[in-house]
Structure 1
Amino acid sequence: MKEDRVSNPITIPDSLCSIIPSIPNYASYTNSTNTCSGTMTNWSELLPEILNAIARKLAYYEDYINFLCVCTSWKTCTTITKNIIQHLPSRIPMLMFHEYSHQNRTFFLLSNGGIIRKLPLPEAYRQRCVSTHGWLLTTGEQEFYTKLVNPVTRTQIHLPKLYMFEELYFDQDEWKYYGFSMRKAVFTSSNPLASDPSFRVVIIWGNTLGFCRLGDDSWTRVDGWEGHVFDITYHKMRTRLYVVCTTLGTIYECEIGNDVLCPVTLSRVTTFPGKELGCLCVQWAYLVEWGCNSLLMITRERQYFKKHDDEYARYGPYRTSRFQCFVFGLDDGKWSKIASLGNKAVFVGFNSSFAIDGGEGVKPNCIYFTDDLYEPYRGLPDGGGGDVGIYHMFSGRIEAIFGSQQQSVFGYSPIWLQASTLPVIKGIK
């Protein structure tokens, strides 16, 4: 496993710039150390009492991480502890938009009234990305390297090359197509830096399913299903990988924690009784761990338009029309349809599907969705990815997440980022 840290010791994050001037004694300190123009000559020389006063004003997990990564002196001179950081609220979930420049990515934060930020993330430049547990899994054209990137700390972990799947020997000229084939990734535990021997990264690449451990030279295949793979989820309480496939909504499972180097075979668990529950066809489906002994399956219906339709000019090739939610009991094997998610909100798209409690800008009993189809709009001159919104379970209403100004940044689908476990940062106890 290779791990890289990239940081700029003189870059002060935007979230800190508005706080620093309000610190008591800051002005007297800067007047004695600044040039005649009033510009700080060396941010790393701030006194420890000033740094701790700044740190106490930070209210969000991401701001603390940014603070610690400014430079070594900021990290070592403060009284911040890992325990303090882990109990702070997070601005995540947030949307990461398509590439803004070779150095930056654009993020839309649901908290703070839905603000837009541009953050440096050169590690994801010209990379195809999916997300899970707050990390990005990226792959690029250069020999199909894959790596994990934390967009907050910019930590990198290298993974096996994707062409280690034996059926993926293809021409570099076909990258534009195959680059879109990486659709999902999940972790078997939340923190890849925790030295957990059971940790695995699982991916869907086209219609291939596989996983690896950190440090592996190749991916291990998962076989044994029929049809098309819609979604995957790892049930932590059951320690099982669950897969939903085909228009019938068949669910499979397997255990991937053993030290195996041969293909793993899925076992069929159940087939969704769609007719009995009022869902005649499963166009698309998602899986979420739902309590200790259940899975939540969400079906998604899209309405498709032809080029001469009025809706085509407004929405593109399609738009989401409805979601339905069903719970499968892993103990009793029974299915039930639910009309409410309670205080939960679910996030689906090119991310591992996840549910969180409402609050901090997140509306309960809603499904936050992004566009997770590529084929219908790959040839459009302006790209696509605009099938994004908030589905209200109570009324069936679809609400826009943001206005037309933010919508203009689409070229490909934005990606939800989930809150992650605190990455290990050396020097913080």
Structure 2
Amino acid sequence: MTTWSDLLPEILNEIAEKLNFYEDSISFLSVCSSWRSSATTTANLIRHHHLLPSRFPMLMLAESKMEEDDDEQDCRSFFLLSGSMMRKVKLPEARWKPCVSTHGWLLTTGEEEFSAKLLHPLSRTQIDLPQLYMFHELYFDQDEWTYYRHFMRRVVFTSPNPNFTTDNSNTKGGSFRVVIIWGETLGFCRLGDVSWTRINGWEGNLFDITYHNTRKRLYVMATMGTIYECDILNNDALRPLTLRQLSTFPGKEFGCLCLPSAYLLEWGHNSLLMITRERKYYKKHDEEYIRYGPYSTKSFQCFELSLDDGKWSKITSLGDKSVFLGFNSSFATNAGRGMKPDCIYFTDDHYEPYLDLPDGGGGDVGVYHMFDGSIEAMFDSQESVFRGSPPLWLQSCNDQCNLVVCK
């Protein structure tokens, strides 16, 4: 009787050509070693896989805690909303490195020489970024790296894909920027820059950043929901940018006296969406504490800011959109392919309560339904518990890249 591993290359080619989704290429190459070793089949996959539609967004889970298994630690698990499937991908470049994500890419940092890189988790393509010396939170005793590395909280791009041209003039003059929040410092770089450029001009703590693709502006949210903007594309190299205050959320008008946690994202052609997050806290003897840790999400509220007239309004429905929040750039996408409409998909992006827990944290992951305020689990919360890099959402991208899967 013929087994799957004994199929002829000609049959494998026929199967590969019938794959309907980008991520199915990963599944195909993960079946067995003989399927991966078929040079013709692999070449066919690489040639046409980037033309396939994607099941993104997907959730990259926390690192495995099986420290004795080096091969296992070189892999990361991905949760695909479409079909609620788990897939494992070889990704040694992210091993024990803090990560944040945007547009399907990871921004990873390393203790050695304050390095920073863009990493595509499916192709393992890496792009060097300037060293992080500008961010003053990094000046610490090396023994404290485990704590201070957690200060990297947000990253956004000003265009969906990095510019891979080798022409320095095109690269530096293009529209691609990487913007990050590290602690209480905000900065950006272009590919090819030798250092990061500082952005100044806000008051209080930084909550979130987003780039509005229609307005071509960077928007920053700080304490009490104060919104700032700047034209990040038209500036002189290595000169600090200064934000311009645009609006402040009228909390009293909506019954929100404080904003302990909030997110900001592009919402249509002429508006921004601010989302507040309320958490409930547990004592150590509570049953919920065992599952979630010190807290879990209680509710979200959504408020729209019109960029035309500066007016705020509360919205109670996301319509046919799904929103994704966590250690990633906040984003919305049309529901479908496993994504439920009028829902907020969230992960745990609150480091501090878990620093002293031996197993880490991150159990506060789920799907919030706007219409009734209910929360459902996506999977066993222990799958997302982390000590190093937390679970984070990967946004849709159309990059051409080679697939690398675990053996």
Provide TM-score, normalisation by structure 2. Answer: 0.86
Q: Please report how far the alpha carbon of residue 167 of structure 1 lies from its aligned counterpart in structure 2 after TM superposition.
A: 6.0
Determine the structure 1 residue equivalent to 2:192.
215
Which is bigger in relative contact order (C-alpha 8 A, separation at least 6)? Answer: 2
In the alignment, residue 106 of structure 2 is paired with which amino acid?
A: L
Deviation at 1:193, TM superposition (A): 3.7
Correspondence for 2:68:
none
Q: What's the counterpart of residue 334 of structure 2?
A: 357
Q: CA deviation at 1:318?
A: 1.1
Partner of 2:56: 92
> Is it true that 1:251 corresponds to 2:227 in the alignment?
yes
Q: Which amino acid aligns with 2:352?
A: E
Q: Does residue 205 of the first structure (1) align with residue 182 of the second (2)? A: yes
| Residues 187-245 of structure 1 deviation map (CA, whole Å, 9 limit, x = unaligned) | 00001145461100000101110000011111101110011111100001111110111
Deviates more, 1:67-76 or 1:216-225: 67-76
Structure 1 position 381, deviation (Å): 1.5
Q: Which residue of 2 aligns with 1:375?
A: 352
> What's the CA shift for 1:377?
1.3
The answer to whether the 8 A contact 2:122-2:401 is kept is: no
Q: Secondary structure at the match of 2:146?
A: helix
Describe the SS at the equivalent of 1:53: helix
Q: 2:373 and 2:206 mapped to 1: Cα distance?
A: 26
In 2, Cα distance between equivalents of 1:194 and 1:415: 25
- The 10-residue stretch of structure 1 (275-284 or 262-271) with the greater mean CA deviation from structure 2: 275-284
How far, CA to CA, are the matches of 1:198 and 1:404 in structure 2?
39
TM-score scaled by structure 1?
Answer: 0.82
Q: Does 1:128 align with 2:122?
A: no
* Structure 1 residue aligned with 2:319: 342
Q: 1:138 aligned to 105, 108, 119, which one?
A: 108
Partners of 2:149 and 2:159 in 1: CA distance: 26
Match status 1:285 vs 2:262: yes
Deviation at 1:303, TM superposition (A): 1.4
Alpha-carbon distance in structure 1 between the residues aligned to 2:88 and 2:29: 19
Residue 74 (structure 2) pairs with residue 103 (structure 1): yes
Q: Residues 361 and 76 of structure 1: is their aligned pair in 2 closer, same or farther, counting only changes over 3 Å? A: closer
Partner of 1:319: 296
Shift of 1:171: 2.4
Q: Which structure has the larger Rg over C-alpha atoms? A: 1
**Could you tell me which of 206, 210, 231 is aligned with 1:229?**
206
CA deviations 1:329-353 (Å, max 9, x no partner) are 0011111100000000000000000
Equivalent of 1:271 in 248, 265, 268: 248
- Contact 1:191–1:423 (CA under 8 A) maintained in structure 2: no
Code of the residue aligned with 1:375 in structure 2: it is: E
Q: CA RMSD in A?
A: 2.6
Counterpart amino acid of residue 62 in structure 1: E
Alignment partner, residue 57 of structure 1: 18
C-alpha distance in structure 2 between counterparts of 1:133 and 1:219, whole Å: 20
Answer yes or no: is 1:332 the counterpart of 2:303.
no
Partner of 1:37: none
Q: For residue 113 of structure 2, give the secondary structure of its aligned residue in structure 1.
A: coil
Q: Distance in 2 between matches of 1:127 and 1:115?
A: 25
- Contact 2:152/2:183 (8 A) holds in 1: yes
Alpha-carbon spacing, 1:406–1:175, altered in 2? closer, same or farther (3 Å): closer
Distance 2:53 2:295 in 1: 36
Q: Which residue of 2 aligns with 1:150?
A: 120
Query: Which runs of 5 or more structure 2 residues have no equivalent in the other structure?
Result: 31-35, 65-71, 166-170, 403-407
Gaps of 5+ in 1: 1-19, 31-45
